[in-house]
Chains A and B, each alone.
Chain A
Amino acid sequence: MTSHDEVDAVVVGVGAAGAVLVRKLADAGWRVVGLDAGPHWDPQTDFLSDERAMSKLFWRDRRVTGGDDPIELAGNVTGKGVGGSTVHYSMYALRLHRSDFETRTRDGVGSDWPLSYEDLEPYYDEVERELGIAGPVDWPWDAPRRHRYPYRPHQLNGVGEVMARGCDALGITWRPGAIATLSAPKGDRPPCVYRGWCLSGCTTNAKSSTLVTYAEEAVHAGADIRPHCMVHRVDTDATGRAIGVTYFRRSADGTVHEERQRARVVIVSAYSIETPRLLLMSASSRYPDGLANSSGLVGKGLMIHGSDIVFGRFPEPVSQFKAPPPNTITQDFYETDAANDFVRGYSIETVGPLPGKFAQLAASTLGLWGESLREFMYDYSHYAGLGLVGETQAQDGNGVRLSPDETDTFGLPIPVVTFSYADDDRRLLDAGADTQRRILEAAGAEVTFRVSDTAHLMGACRMGNDPVTSVVDRNCRAWDVRGLYICDGSVFVTSGAANPSLTIQAIAARTADQLIAAGRRHEL
């Protein structure tokens, strides 16, 4: 087995969080290795404008999905490769609200975070600047902004105009969304050309995935990013301290070798399914229930966003495929409202699936096939879709465990994901769908239909102030294992009702600063 010399930090997974960590630590002079299970793509040669061909961006290793409401996995929830899920994500770049960090105190549900909005605010500012987020001049919802968005908002597209019209008619506030694609040049990167291929990977580099931002800068800063490296164990020494990782590296000729990377600090950033899977696979005689799992909460409390879509057909072409699908948003329904029969709330956002996806959604939801499906699809350009980002509550029964009997191509136990909605989640989803439909109808929709869908993963290794009820502390440090950090979407305590990536990146930026400061104090 090849054993690499010890470095300061090894980061497992170079996605939304991992790329931020790798770059910031490398900038601070740390020797950093980033390991990612997938490829290191070049968008200008590897990416195609084709829905089917670009499924190569998705995490499609073997997984099982169960529960009362099994989550659709693959491209719907996770990417694979440097940049992680941000390579094919939809680019809404939103902050959580202040209330999200204290839902237990305010609403009696979930748990309070060990961080406040104020703790993250400077990091939201930092990440928005680094990514070049394009957003509206004012943000009428929580939290009040100290700084304007660095880039001007994008023009409304057809779906955005429909949404704006419907919202105006109903007295609902709307804004152009805060979006992670450039509206003006930034460094070498040109602005968006409105081709609408964002969810298949962007070929122009306008999209601020971490592949073309943080990860690229990390390489310039001297970080060693190694693709095709599937980490399967976090190694610990006799004292129980994390000392590095062991991984399978796939060479260009397809052969696989096992390698080891020693590091003073191990950071796991593999997201809400693979992070708990890796910790559980790292069980040893010292840690029989898996690493960092004395609370029993590794793999528990997985959350999603209820993301049902309502589509409406309009008399004139909407051309939902033009411009980035993320375009316009309302957060008027985000906070708890005593008039509702549920607590917490939702955002409503424009979507714009390409024909293959739209046909799948229609076929599975409307049961269409045969000539009626083809005829229905003639109207593809006339549909506008509004998607929900509905908060769900963490439940211990929802989560990730290892399959007792099935393995992947490396011989590693595959993850089994379980998800069921709580009754309150469903009431929230129904209320959201009602609002989505009212907006479309107020805008003049001729017919509407609702697609049930989920988006985003949050939680499964939550942070907290108490080692009994959380896996990591507020600085993403594992309570049980010295030298081990967990920093990605899995540390979320509540789901919020905003797409999670900007918060994941803000937490990563903060964690990097904490690590750098601890390093200076010789406290790692």
Chain B
Amino acid sequence: MKPSPYPGFDPMRESEAWEDRDRALVLSRLHDIPALRFFSPEEAQLLDAVVDRLIPQPDRAPDDRVVVTPFLDQMLFDDDTDGFRKDGMPWDQEVWRQALIGIDQTSNARYGRRFVELDATQQDDVLSAFQSGEAEGAVWRHLPSAAVFTKVIEQVVSVYYAHPSAWAEIGWPGPASRRGYMRTGYGQLDPWRPREIGSASSVQLVEISESVGGPSGSVGGTH
């Protein structure tokens, strides 16, 4: 994959300037990975494989990868969720359990094997079907797979982009410092901001249908 335009940038280097409680929170996120309490080991293994395709990290050694599953487990076990459900959808805990069952059903329908046994291309095919609402499987006859996919990807990215390694690759300094920002105008950088090299991403932007549902309220609103 294309490398980050902010090579060598590490928000943790500025962490001495953060509030103590912000630094403590981020460090605990790095070092105290919560134990599994909601998902079974089999479910967690499947979810790991799904997360691996939704947020692939081929550029990182296994030990350096951002872990996502334990934080989703913690959110669901503690019921640290949005708290609301859409009419016709179950509560989040049930959505996640059903989603995992459904992914294996689609995988079996297409390839006669469980999702964790597929190669990356096949896994992406299953996830594309899940996303587009064309997934096969009993679960998807009573749950709208596209809407479930949206919920899954939103929660996965929320966990991923709460990690300093993710902040590093997008050039975002994290909690910032007690000192705030001095130069706030267009094109202006403060002295401690990372230098950027390379061109803009070439990812094609295509708006998908509104019917999939808007963004979730889990990290608040915008205005």
Interface residues of chain A, those whose CB is within 8 Å of chain B, are 45, 48-55, 57-67, 70, 72-77, 88, 90, 92, 155-158, 161-162, 193-197, 199-200, 203, 307, 309, 313-319, 321-323, 325-326, 349, 351-357, 359-361, 363-382, 385, 387, 389, 416, 446-447, 449-455, 499
Name the residue in A72, A77, A200 with the highest tally of chain B Cβ atoms < 10 Å from its Cβ: A72
Pick the most buried of B2, B170, B178: most chain A CB atoms within 10 A of its CB. Answer: B170
A63 & B214 in contact (Cβ 8 Å cutoff):
no
Partner of A373, one of B157, B179, B193, B202: B157
Cβ contact within 8 Å between B223 and A387: yes
B161 within 8 A of A: yes
Q: Write 18 A-B pairs (CB below 8 A) sorted by A numbering.
A: A49-B18, A61-B83, A66-B86, A72-B214, A194-B180, A195-B181, A317-B196, A319-B184, A323-B184, A356-B158, A356-B219, A359-B161, A370-B54, A373-B157, A377-B170, A381-B171, A452-B214, A499-B223
User: Are A360 and B5 also in contact (CB < 8 A) when A73-B217, A449-B205 are?
Assistant: no
Decide yes or no whether B213 CB sits under 8 A from chain A.
yes
Contact (Cβ within 8 A) B185 A74: no
A195 to B80, CA, bound (A): 26
Once the chains bind, are B214 and A454 in contact (CB under 8 Å)?
yes
Is there an interface contact between B208 and A379, defined as CB atoms closer than 8 Å?
no
Instruction: Check A65–B223 contact: CB distance below 8 A.
Output: no
Given A194-B180, A316-B186, A322-B184, A363 and B153 contact (CB-CB distance below 8 Å): yes
Q: Are A52 and B219 in contact (CB under 8 A)?
A: yes
- Inter-chain contact B84/A65, CB cutoff 8 Å: yes
Which one of A353, A363, A379 contacts B201 once the chains associate, using CB atoms below 8 Å?
A379
- Establish whether residues B25 and A455, one from each chain, have CB atoms under 8 Å apart when the complex forms: no
CB distance from B14 to the nearest CB of A (A): 12
Q: Evaluate whether A65 and B181 lie within 8 angstroms (CB atoms) in the complex, with A74-B217, A369-B54, A454-B214 already known.
A: no
Quick check: is B117 within 8 A (CB to CB) of the other chain?
no
The complex places the Cα of A394 from the Cα of B206 at a distance, in Å, of 33
Q: Assuming the A-B contacts A63-B84, A357-B222, are A368 and B180 also in contact, with contact meaning beta carbons closer than 8 angstroms in the complex?
A: no
- Contact call A51/B154, Cβ cutoff below 8 A: no
Smallest CB separation, A355 vs chain B (Å): 5
**Is B175's beta carbon under 8 Å from chain A?**
yes
* Best-surrounded residue of B55, B208, B218 (most CB of chain A within 10 A): B218
Considering only residues 190-223 of chain B, those with a C-beta below 8 Å from chain A are 193, 196, 200-203, 205-208, 210, 212-223
> Assuming A360-B154, A454-B214, is B221 touching A77 (CB within 8 A)?
yes
The minimal Cβ–Cβ distance linking A450 to chain B, given in whole angstroms, is 6
Minimum CB distance partner of A380 in chain B: B170
Residue pair B84, A73 in contact (C-beta under 8 Å): yes
Among B84, B88, B162, B207, max chain A CB count under 10 A is at B84
Tell me the minimal C-beta distance from A68 to chain B in angstroms.
10
Extra contacts besides A50-B175, A90-B221, A323-B181 (18): CB < 8 Å: A48-B19, A58-B82, A66-B88, A70-B86, A72-B214, A75-B219, A76-B217, A92-B223, A158-B184, A196-B181, A313-B200, A317-B186, A319-B193, A325-B223, A361-B215, A366-B208, A374-B55, A447-B205
Tell me if B213 and A203 are in contact (CB < 8 A).
no
Smallest Cβ-Cβ distance to A47: which chain B residue:
B21
Q: What mask results when residues 1 to 14 of chain B are scored 1 for a CB within 8 Å of chain A, else 0?
A: 11011100000000
Task: Knowing A66-B86, A322-B181, A373-B55 are in contact, say whether A451-B220 is a contact too (CB < 8 A).
Answer: no
For A194, what are the chain B residues with a Cβ–Cβ distance below 8 Å?
Answer: 180-182, 184
| Bound CA–CA A499/B158 (angstroms) | 27
Complexed CA–CA distance, A356 and B175 (Å): 13
B184, A55: Cβ atoms closer than 8 Å: no
Known: A88-B220, A203-B19, A499-B223. A363 touches B184 (CB 8 A): no
Which residues of A are found within 8 Å of B223, using beta-carbon distances? 90, 92, 307, 325-326, 349, 351, 387, 389, 455, 499
Q: Residue of A at shortest CB range from B154?
A: A360
With contacts A72-B216, A200-B220, A367-B208 known, is A161 near B186, CB below 8 A? yes
Interface centre among A60, A63, A316, A378 (most CB of B within 10 A): A378
Chain A, residue nearest B174 (CB): A49
Partner of B219, one of A55, A65, A382: A55
Which 4 A-B residue pairings sit nearest by Cβ, starting from the closest? Answer: A66-B87, A74-B217, A193-B180, A60-B83
A60 to B54, CA, bound (A): 27
Known: A158-B184, A367-B206, A374-B55. A379 touches B221 (CB 8 A): no
Closest to A382 in B: B200
Q: Contacting B203 at CB < 8 Å: which of A57, A161, A197, A376?
A: A376
Minimum C-beta distance from A322 to chain B (A): 5
Q: Which residue of A lies closest to B127 (CB)?
A: A369
How distant is B89 from chain A, measured CB to nearest CB, in Å? 9
| B139 interface contact, C-beta 8 A | no
Note all chain A residues with C-beta closer than 8 A to B54. Answer: 369-370, 373
Chain A residues with Cβ below 8 Å from B4 are 378
User: A385 — which chain B residues lie within 8 A by C-beta?
Assistant: 222
User: What residues of chain B lie closer than 8 Å to A60, measured between beta carbons?
Assistant: 81-84
User: Which residue on A lies nearest to B179, using beta carbons?
Assistant: A193
Neighbouring B residues of A72 by C-beta, 8 Å:
213-217
A376 and B222 contact, CB distance less than 8 A: no
